Every structure is written in structure tokens, then in C-alpha cells.
A = this chain, B = another copy of it.
Amino acid sequence: MSGKNWRIGVAGLGTVGGGLLNFLSDRPGFAPAGGQAVVTGVSARSRSRPRPFDISNLAWFDDPVELAKSPDNDIFVELIGGSDGPAKAAVEAALHAGKPVVTANKALIAEHGAELALLAETKGVPLLYEAAVMGGTPAVKVVREAMVGDDIRSISGILNGTCNYILTEMEGMLGQQGPADAFRAVLAEAQRLGYAEADPTMDVGGFDAAHKISILAALAFGCAPNYAAAEIEGIEQVALLDIQLAKDLGYRIKLIASASRSDEGVLVRVHPTLVALNHPLAQAGGALNALFIEGTRIGTIYLQGPGAGAGPTAAAVAADIADLMTGAVRPVFQKPAGQLNPFTPVDPAKSMGRAFLRFLVKDEPGVIAAVSETLAEAGVSIESFLQKPVENADGVPIVLTTHAVAESVLTAAIDRIANLPSVLERPRLLRIARI
């Protein structure tokens, strides 16, 4: 409980930066471990832009790298964003100067985490990033610190609130006379409400969730983050019909980010996934984030909460600042940077799992027989089958779920089915969660 005062430099004054300044001015004595935290300098793109908080008493830096190097602050908080450019340059400058860093930047940690960890640990300073994953919900702390006495087998969760919001809203449209492209309609409304960015690619394409699960995989399995090895599919192709048919079969479609470890290596994936309706992950709706952690000793931990927003994310940054104030020094990932396990990616084609397949077929005799024979010949075993009458459709949708099958076997079967004359379009494949 030192009486030390910590002077903080904040680079980036958007939603989270503003939330942090508001928080620290609301709680002037913020000092969970004694001492006091006070913002002394800031940097952002525009000094004069109108803001709902006052920066006139703070030292201004046009260049975040200069703020990071400045001897007038003891902690550098990076809230600029982006995997490269000024964010990376400023974090590196702060670490080089022997200054602890707090960042909310998932892209930076997922893509350059190993080298930054080495730099931070060489300099003996913490690099913390709680706000990078699940915003205000302490996923990083739970995996890094609470599960440190466990051997984690797998992690899976809902790590992107925008996608979860869109999928939840799409489900709400079932049974209504909705627009032809439900995804685009809901996305446009989410953009209008500020729940989705003007360029939504990072979110709806699954890239944001992939950054986050890459970070959690590093913490869980003691390897360097390897974003490049993540297999990524977004939610752009999820149709209302998929959501309806999944529900009829007892599932809800969620964008699930997962990381699992086996003797072969590590598999990190993001894709739309069918989750059984009674599973907690299926019940986390709207913009919620949720995480399921399976360990060999502890068993299963489930964590759910807000994944974004000024209040929650700023609170996560503040929690990291509080951690710094305790004097704790931990490895940036599970182990010291020089001892991290090699990240050996597992070939997704070899991974086993259950699948949901949707076909659009001609309404004529023998179609179902042809599809099921093709699957049987390929070695894919059908678990359930559903055909619903559809009015005025170009074809008849049929859907089936399979028993566990290797992904390579499944895609080979799909290729053959796609070529059947009675099948009108390439079958739609969605995975069913193992959890």
C-alpha cells in the first residue's frame, strides 16, 4: 500500500478514452492499493474537437509517441486502436522507456503480442489489456490469473456484441413478413442505432472475435497469439431460414469463437455455430458477451457480461490501472515470453464435429434418396432430418444434422451433393457446438 501517485498519459479520446477521463474525474481518489491515479497528459487526432469532458488542464501531445515517451507520466494508456501505425509505435515507445502500458487494443495484442511481450518483459514492466476482450467482463483476468492453477482444454464464447445483437434481432423477425435479406436489414438498423460501425467488416466478418479468441488462446494454452492461424467465418451468410430451421431442431445460431488444444496442437476458429437452446451460450442474447472455459481441474467456468460500451470498457481499463498500482509483475501471456509454447495449428480439415446442412432441392421424387445416398457413400451419418413445406419457393429446403464427422469428409460430401442435378444451390454448412 504505497502512497505513490501515478500520473497517467492517455492516447486516444474516443468512447473509451472519454469514459476513462470521466471515471477518473468522478473518482478522484481512485486508489485501490493506496496512492492515487491522475491523468496528466493526453493525445488524440484533433485537439479542438468538441468533447463532453474538459482537457484544458491536461498536457496536450499531437504525437502519441511523444506522450508515451514523456517523463511527465508513469503509465501509458493506449486507446487509439489498430494493429499497426501510431498505436503500435506509441506502445513500443512507452515500453522502451520502461513505462507500464494499459491498452484496449485487441488487434495490436493479437497480431503483435509476442514481440510486445518480449519487449515488456525485457524492460520488466507490465503490459495489460483486460479491455481488449469482452470489454467490462474480466475474461483476461479470469483466464490469466484465476485459471493459472488449471490446465485449460478449450474456451468458447460469444466475443462480438454486434454480431450477437444482429443474430438476436434476426431471430426476433421469425414469423413476420420481413425483408428478403434479413441480415442486411438488421445491420442497417444496428448502424443507425450506433451498435454497428459504418464499415462493419471487422465485426460481422468475424475478425474482431478472432482477435479476441487468439488472445485468450495464448493465455489459456501458454503459446504466443497467432491470429494468422485463426479460421474465420462471419455472419454475413446466415439466412433467416437457417435461424428458423436451427430453432426447429432445438438450436440457436451464435457466432462462436473457440480455441481448443489437443495432442496435435491448437485450433482457433470463429464461425456461426448451432448451440443447443438450453445451453447458457444460447441464452446470452442482444449485445451480451459470454465465455465458457473448460479446465481439467476446475471443470467449467461460465462468464457473461457486457462486451463493449464506454462505462464497462473504461472500468476494465481502470481495473488494469489498479493492478499496476499493486506492483504485480506477471508474464504478458500465461508464461514468460521466452518460454511460450510453439503454436502448432491443427488442420481444420481434420477436426471432428457435428454439422447442420441445408439444401435447396427440386420438389420431385427421389431427391431425398439421392442426397442421403451420397452422404452415406461419403461416410457421413445423418442424425436428424427435417423438411418443411414452404409456399411459393423456387425449391424445397431440407435440412439435416450429422453425427460427428471429419470436416474434410463433410466438405467432400457437400461437393458431390452440390453436383446432383436435383440440388439447386451449394448446400449451406453450419457447425454444431461441441459444448
Contacts and interface: CB of A to CB of B under 8 A. Distances in A.
Copies in the complex: 2
B149 A331 contact: no
Interface residues of A, number: 56
Nearest to A324: B328
A398 interface: no
A304 B280 contact: yes
Given A146-B319, A328-B327, A299 B304 contact: no
A390 interface: no
Nearest to A138: B146
A331 B311 CA distance: 24
Given A148-B319, A322-B148, A299 B305 contact: yes
A18 to B, nearest CB: 13
Nearest to A320: B149
A316 B145 CA distance: 10
Contacts of A33: 329-331
Given A33-B331, A130-B146, A301-B305, 18 more contacts: A23-B149, A23-B297, A30-B149, A32-B148, A32-B331, A32-B335, A34-B336, A136-B301, A137-B301, A141-B142, A141-B145, A146-B319, A147-B319, A280-B283, A296-B311, A300-B305, A301-B304, A327-B327
9 contacts: A33-B329, A33-B331, A138-B146, A142-B142, A148-B319, A298-B306, A298-B311, A298-B316, A300-B306
